[in-house]
Amino acid sequence: MKMSRPLNIFILHPSSLLTDWEPSGDGLLAYQYVSRLASRGHIVHVAVEARSVRGTCPPNLHLHDIRTHYSAAEGAAGLAQRVEFGIKAGALFRRLRKTIAFDVVHQLNPVVYGLSMLASYAPTPLVLGPIPPSWAMPPGLGPTFRQTIKARTRRLLMHLQLQRARLILIPTPAVLDQIITTPALLGRIRALHYGVDQDAFSPFSDDPAPQAPTILFLANLWRRKGIFTLLDAFEIVHRALPEARLLIAGSGTDQEEVKARAAESSASRQIQFLGFIEHDHIPEVMRRCSVFCLPSFGEPFGMTALEAMACGKALVVTNRGGLSHLVDDEGGIKVPAAEPGPLAEALVKVLSSPELARTMGAHNRQSVLRTFAWDKVITELEGIYLEAMSTVAVSRRALDVPARR
């Protein structure tokens, strides 16, 4: 199906921040979706709670602030806040619908909070997602009774919400293990990858290649990201390759413990902390490494891994969560989570063979151009919108509402 005219799109953005530069995964991705849709001529209205946008928005991208009583409160992302946002976003939609014939309503991630259940958007078709999988439990640990009840409640709420959607978007098959997949629901699920800016994140640079074998870890400094496993593994790598270096970029709640552990390491002199890296500067940091390593315990997707792929880097990651689907055997090595030995062995293998690293990196770059470039992702999303619209016979003439152009 081809796009014959610009669409009127209403976007629910329930993440705490819509941004084009701050470190907010959902917020950064959401801005790419909405701004790129608007750049193609679509009229996009977005309900947002907070925004931090440095660039100039396209003129047909309309950001509507939804203020809640809990916005300024510490730890505000609670149930009351979500409910208030959902109700007010529904009221905004009804008000706009008086003068705009919307073609589609799209709730971006996070979807689990059920915001689209708090207002009626019918008969406008509702699209949900992309929905990433939840974090997996750390290896060797089982859920507590409270965690089990919470997960079951979350799964049920998710199911109730998904039943209302015309189409459901998932970025990775790992999501299917965490939702109730009835035959009717499976028929409405479509794959939609996250995108990456293939021009900003590219292997082409005047920067020289790293003079020593270099590992880059760029992520939040949280235990579940596998940073302590990597520090243990790097001691083994250092014994095999004394000249190898480990660059650690990022910040987080476990930052001081990570630095203390690195200071005690037998390879401490080869470990360098880069601190927090603004998103615009991430590509130049990635170009300084020989291999990108994300030994996460169960990454929902792995955007930094995708960005490293776009930069033409070889990857060593864990075989859990979204990473197990994102990275294939030609572009990297996947190892068990929380096991320093296999992680070190994989890193040594890639670092010891510049040709292997180059081949893996080239494969990853081509994979990004083929599947994950934003232009391709937005074209796929337009097709999804048209499919959702084709299943609902909504006549603008019957509504007698002019479309805003």
pLDDT tens readout for residues 367-401: 999 999 999 999 999 999 999 999 764 434 344 44
Q: Is the pLDDT of residue 115 over 80?
A: no
Place of tokens 């929905």: 131
Indicate if 214-370 has the same CATH topology as 8-195+373-399: yes
- 8-195+373-399 has CATH 3.40.50.2000 classification: yes
Q: Is the pLDDT of residue 140 over 80?
A: no
Upstream peptide bond of 123 is cis (omega within 30 degrees of 0): yes
User: What pairing do the DSSP bridges indicate for beta strands 291-294 and 271-275?
Assistant: unpaired
Mean pLDDT, to the nearest integer, of 275-303?
94
pTM above 0.85, yes or no: yes
- Please provide the average confidence, as pLDDT, over all residues in the chain: 90
Cβ atoms within 10 Å of 313's Cβ, excluding its own: 28
Q: Is the pLDDT of residue 1 over 70?
A: no
Task: Identify the pLDDT of residue 88.
Answer: 92
Mean pLDDT, to the nearest integer, of 264-293?
96
Upstream peptide bond of 130 is cis (omega within 30 degrees of 0): yes
Residue 57, token pair as written in the block: 């928005």
- Select from 131, 184, 137 the least CA-distant residue to 157: 131
Q: Which residues contact 342 (CB under 8 A, 6 or more apart)?
A: 335, 336
Query: Cα 303–22–131 angle (5° rounding)?
Result: 40
Please tell me which residue, 130 or 393, carries the higher pLDDT value.
130
The string of pLDDT tens digits covering residues 72-104 is 444 445 777 888 888 999 999 999 999 999 999
Phi, psi (5° rounding) for residue 191? -85, 130
Q: Is the pLDDT of residue 405 over 80?
A: no
- 45-49, 152-156, 225-229, 354-358: the lowest-pLDDT one: 152-156
Q: Is the pLDDT of residue 69 over 90?
A: no
Residue 393, token pair as written in the block: 């016979």
The string of pLDDT tens digits covering residues 310-366 is 999 999 999 998 999 999 999 999 999 999 999 999 999 999 999 999 999 999 999
Please tell me which residue, 118 or 159, carries the higher pLDDT value.
159
Q: Is the pLDDT of residue 123 over 60?
A: yes
Distance of alpha carbon 162 from the chain centroid: 20
Tell me if 136 sits within 8 A of 156, measured CB to CB: no
Tell me if 374 sits within 8 A of 196, measured CB to CB: yes
Give the residue extent of every domain in the chain: 8-195+373-399, 214-370
Q: Is the pLDDT of residue 114 over 70?
A: no
Mean pLDDT, to the nearest integer, of 144-150?
83
Mean pLDDT, to the nearest integer, of 148-177?
88
Q: Is the pLDDT of residue 212 over 60?
A: yes
Distances (CA, A) of 392 to 122, 167, 292, 300: 10, 12, 45, 32
Tell which CATH classification among 3.50.50.60, 3.90.1150.10, 3.40.50.2000, 3.40.50.150 matches the domain 214-370.
3.40.50.2000
- 77-81, 117-121, 247-251: the lowest-pLDDT one: 77-81
